Structure 1
Amino acid sequence: MKFYRLERDPSPRYTGYLNAAHRLGLPGLEPCPTCRCGGAGAGLEYPCVDLSSLPPHELKKLSDPWPVPLEEIERLREVVRPLVPKDAMLEPGTLFGPLQGTGVGYFGQLDLYVPWALCVRREALERLQEAGVRGLQGCPTRIRFRTKHAPTLLEMQMELHGQFHPDCLPPDLQPPCPTCGNDFLMLPDPIILDAATLPSEPDLFRLRQGATLIVANERLVEAVRRLELDGVLFQELEVR
C-alpha cells in the first residue's frame, strides 16, 4: 500500500480563502515548570464534536485560547473527554466544533484551507464514498459566501494513525517531558513513515506522531484521480 501527503494545488485558479475559525478549544499551555515549553499545537481538530451540552462557565473557558497552567489543561481535558472520539488526542490548542466565518473566491473539490485542515465540497465527498473510499467523516461548516453559487464545504474530521520511522528522526531526540508530555518533535525532512504503524483503513487520516500531516492511501488517491476531483496534489511518502 502506498501513502501520500496532501498539498494544496498552487494553481492561480484556486483563489478560495476562508476567514474562519473554530470557536471552542483547549487553551494554550503556560511554560512548563520542567521543560519551559508552552504554547499550543496545530492539527488536532474535531469539527464534528458538539460541546453545547457543557455548562456555560466551561464553554467560556473553552472559548479563550489564552495559555493556562497544566493543571487547568488536565481538568478541561476531562470535561470534554466524554464528548470526543475515544482515541482523541487532547493537547493544548485542540479545537472543537464547526468552522465558522466567511469565504471568498473559487475552491476546488478538495481544499486545504490551511496545510493541516481539509475541506471537501459536499458533492465530492458523496462521490468518494460512492466510489468505496472508507472512513471519511465530513462535518458541516458555517461559512458565509457573498455569491449565488456558493459551495457547500464540509470539514474532514480525521482519525490519528501511524508514526515516523526511526530512520528519519534525529539521533539526539530528547525523551518526552515527564511533566507535560512535550515530545520536542519537529516535522522531519525527509518524511519516512513506519509501515508497521499504518492502518489499512481509514483511507484518510492524520499522522498520530505529527498531527499537522494529513495522509491518504492509494485507494483514496486513485479515486480522486479517477473522479477528476481537483484542488489538492499528492506527494508520495517513503514507507519502511
Structure 2
Amino acid sequence: MHCPTCGATWSDVGYDYPCVDLSRLPERALFERPRPEPFSEFARLRELVRPLVPPHAVLPPGTGFGPLMGKATGRFGPTAWVEQLLLLVQPGVLSRLQADGVEGLVGCRTELTFRQKSPPELLELQMEPLGRLHPDCIPSEVPPPCETCGRHGFSRPEAPILDAASLPSGVDLFRVGNFATMVIGTERFMEAARRQQLDGITYREVPART
C-alpha cells in the first residue's frame, strides 16, 4: 500500500486470520495477489472484509485470510512453526490444551498437501493481534503512527514491555497488536504446554507496565 501522507509503500506481517473465509466474497480474486495499491483502493478493499473479521481486528496492508495452503514434507510433531510466524498443532494438542483450562484458542483448518499416504491433520492457531507494547520501550525518536495509514515504523525492542491496560482477558495466546510478529502466551498457557511436553516453543518473560 502506498500512503499519500507519509509517502511509505509498505505491508506488514503477523496479521493473519486463517479462520476467515473469503470464498463467498465476489471480489475475492482481488485479495489473492500481493501488490502495491494506493491508499484509497486499500481502504476500499479493507472495508469489504471488515464484516467477516472479529470486530476488533487490525487490518494493515499484508493481512492474510483463509487456510494455510501449500506442500508439506517431512515428519511433524505435535506442534510446528511456519517461518516462525504461524503455529500449527495437531487436533489432539488443541483439545488437551483446552481441557487443561487454556482460554481463547481457535484452531483453523489447513489445506496442506502431503506425499505420504497417511498425512497428519494440522490446525493453524488463529492468534489475533491484541494488547500493545508500552510506549516506554519504543524509542522516543520514532515518529508517531501515520494519521492516514497507521504505519508506525520501529524495530523490535531489545527489552519489550507490554502495556498492562491493553492486555486482553480470557485469551491465553495472542500477538502484540502494534508488533504482531511477537507472540504472547500467558503463564497458564506456558504451564499447560509444559505439562503436555510440547516442544518447539521457548519462553521469555515479558514485563507489563501501566
TM superposition score normalised by structure 1 = 0.82
| CA contact 2:104–2:172 (8 Å) conserved in 1 | yes
Aligned residue for 2:47? 78
Aligned residue for 2:169? 200
Match of 2:80, SS?
strand
Match of 1:60, SS?
helix
The reply on whether 1:47 has 2:18 as its aligned counterpart is yes
The reply on whether 1:114 has 2:114 as its aligned counterpart is no
| CA contact 1:107–1:231 (8 Å) conserved in 2 | no
How far apart, in 2, do the equivalents of 1:183 and 1:39 lie? 11
How far apart, in 2, do the equivalents of 1:39 and 1:229 lie? 36
1:37 maps to a residue whose letter is A
Aligned residue for 1:236? 205
Identity rate, percent: 49
How far apart, in 2, do the equivalents of 1:177 and 1:166 lie? 16
How far apart, in 1, do the equivalents of 2:10 and 2:151 lie? 11
Q: In the TM superposition, what are the counterparts of 1:75-154 in structure 2 within 5 Å?
A: 75-154=44-123
Give the count of matched residue pairs. 209
How far apart, in 1, do the equivalents of 2:154 and 2:170 lie? 26
| CA contact 1:162–1:208 (8 Å) conserved in 2 | yes
How far apart, in 2, do the equivalents of 1:81 and 1:197 lie? 22
| CA contact 2:15–2:128 (8 Å) conserved in 1 | no
Match of 2:194, SS?
helix
- The structure in which a higher percent of residues are strand is 1
The reply on whether 1:185 has 2:154 as its aligned counterpart is yes
| CA contact 2:16–2:128 (8 Å) conserved in 1 | no
| CA contact 1:109–1:231 (8 Å) conserved in 2 | no
Match of 2:71, SS?
strand
